[in-house]
């Protein structure tokens, strides 16, 4: 009975990972995201802050929550993530006004808090690897997955300066981060999950010896 519970708990945790990793659309490249890879999440957070946050907010996230969840200490948070005027408790929003955004891009860049759920991890991963030069478009770019997108290829400098594998890894880390942002509680659940399993393991051992002790004189 106990063993079965432990096995089904393990399966549930594994299933969580598999679902997070697959989007299911055949035209998309699949990305393996892993919310337990803290280093990947930290790198994704840095890329997002440096390359995306100027246009896209993730308003349901606060800097200090992100720092706590991803093991970023306050010094690094202040020097690498916050502008001098910002506080750790601030929401991660954009400074640009909506009017300016409309004037510059024709559309307001959407908030990306829930994008990993609205699209899918595979979609984001494929999108950020599908930009190509198109001189006659407004931004100078087009995107094979999202034709006539109003967004320029903001990661161009990274793509140009790194190998294909390195660029894919950068985009994967960024996607991983957006999956975390879309459901921060998942990280907490993973952490609780581990303790539940450890507790159950210890419990089974105790139960086993207790049973032995009780039945000792019966046989």
Q: How far apart are the first and last CA of the chain?
A: 23
Interaction of residue 110 with ligand HEC, rule CB under 6 A:
yes
Interaction of residue 55 with ligand HEC, rule CB under 6 A:
yes
Residue 182: Cβ-neighbour burial (10 angstroms; 0-12, 13-18, 19+): buried
* Residues near 101 by beta carbon (within 8 Å), at least 6 away in sequence: 55, 94, 107, 108, 109
CB 33 within 8 A of CB 21: yes
- We find the least distance from the C-beta atom of residue 12 to ligand HEC, in angstroms, to be 29
Binding-site member from 63, 81, 125, 127 for ligand HEC (CB under 6 A): 127
Binding-site member from 23, 44, 109, 121 for ligand HEC (CB under 6 A): 109
In the complex with ligand HEC, the residue whose CB is nearer, 74 or 98, is 98
Binding-site member from 2, 12, 54, 80 for ligand HEC (CB under 6 A): 54
Binding-site member from 31, 77, 119, 170 for ligand HEC (CB under 6 A): 119
CB 92 within 8 A of CB 59: yes
In the complex with ligand HEC, the residue whose CB is nearer, 73 or 160, is 160
CA 130, CA 127: separation in Å to the nearest integer?
A: 5
Q: Phi and psi at residue 24, in whole multiples of 5°?
A: 95, -5
Interaction of residue 105 with ligand HEC, rule CB under 6 A:
yes
The footprint of ligand HEC on this chain (CB under 6 A) covers a number of residues equal to: 22
CB atoms within 10 A of CB 219: 4
Residue whose C-beta lies closest to ligand HEC: 52
* Residues near 117 by beta carbon (within 8 Å), at least 6 away in sequence: 182, 183
In the range 144-203, which residues lie near ligand HEC by CB under 6 A?
A: 149-152, 154-155, 174
Which token pair is 171?
A: 């985009």
* Residues near 26 by beta carbon (within 8 Å), at least 6 away in sequence: none
- We find the least distance from the C-beta atom of residue 209 to ligand HEC, in angstroms, to be 53
- We find the least distance from the C-beta atom of residue 34 to ligand HEC, in angstroms, to be 18
Which token pair is 11?
A: 């399966």
- We find the least distance from the C-beta atom of residue 53 to ligand HEC, in angstroms, to be 8
In the complex with ligand HEC, the residue whose CB is nearer, 46 or 196, is 46
Q: For binding to ligand HEC (CB under 6 A), which residues are involved?
A: 51-52, 54-56, 105, 107, 109-110, 112, 115, 119, 124, 127-128, 149-152, 154-155, 174
């Amino acid at each position: 009975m106990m063993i079965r519970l432990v096995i089904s708990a393990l399966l549930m945790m594994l299933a969580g990972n598999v679902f997070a990793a697959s989007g299911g659309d055949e035209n998309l490249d699949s990305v393996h995201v892993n919310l337990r890879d803290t280093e990947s999440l930290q790198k994704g957070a840095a890329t997002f802050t440096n390359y995306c946050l100027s246009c896209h907010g993730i308003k349901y996230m606060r800097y200090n929550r992100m720092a706590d969840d991803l093991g970023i200490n306050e010094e690094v948070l202040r020097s690498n993530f916050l502008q001098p005027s910002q506080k750790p408790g601030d929401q991660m929003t954009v400074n640009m006004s909506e009017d300016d955004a409309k004037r510059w891009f024709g559309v307001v860049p959407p908030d990306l808090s829930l994008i990993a759920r609205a699209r899918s991890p595979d979609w984001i991963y494929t999108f950020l690897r599908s930009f190509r030069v198109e001189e006659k478009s407004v931004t100078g770019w087009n995107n094979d997955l999202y034709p006539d997108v109003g967004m320029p290829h903001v990661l161009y400098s990274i793509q140009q300066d790194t190998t294909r594998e390195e660029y894919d890894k950068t985009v994967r880390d960024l996607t991983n981060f957006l999956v975390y942002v879309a459901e921060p509680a998942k990280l907490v659940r993973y952490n609780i999950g581990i303790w539940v399993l450890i507790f159950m393991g210890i419990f089974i051992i105790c139960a086993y010896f207790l049973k032995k002790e009780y039945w000792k004189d019966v046989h």
